[in-house]
Amino acid sequence: MMKELVPMVQNKKYDFTSIITHRISLSEGERGYDIFANKKDNCLKVGLKV
């Protein structure tokens, strides 16, 4: 599946940013995983900022 997804993201074929409901720093990754795994705050996807 990743082989198909990566080119779509790179070529901006679809706007996937609409599914990212939470953006947090990489240092907060553990908290982001908790939010995603437990579907807190209506989470769809967590984006990690470097």
The residue among 50, 46, 48, 49 whose CA lies nearest residue 20 is 46
State the CB neighbour count (10 A cutoff) for residue 34: 13
Q: What does the angle CA 48 – CA 45 – CA 36 come to, to the nearest 5 degrees?
A: 90
Q: pLDDT tens digits for 1-50? A: 778 888 988 898 888 888 999 999 999 999 999 999 999 999 999 999 98
**Residue-level pLDDT at 6:** 84
**Residue-level pLDDT at 35:** 97
Alpha helices of the chain — where are they, by DSSP H?
A: 2-10, 29-37
**Residue-level pLDDT at 2:** 79
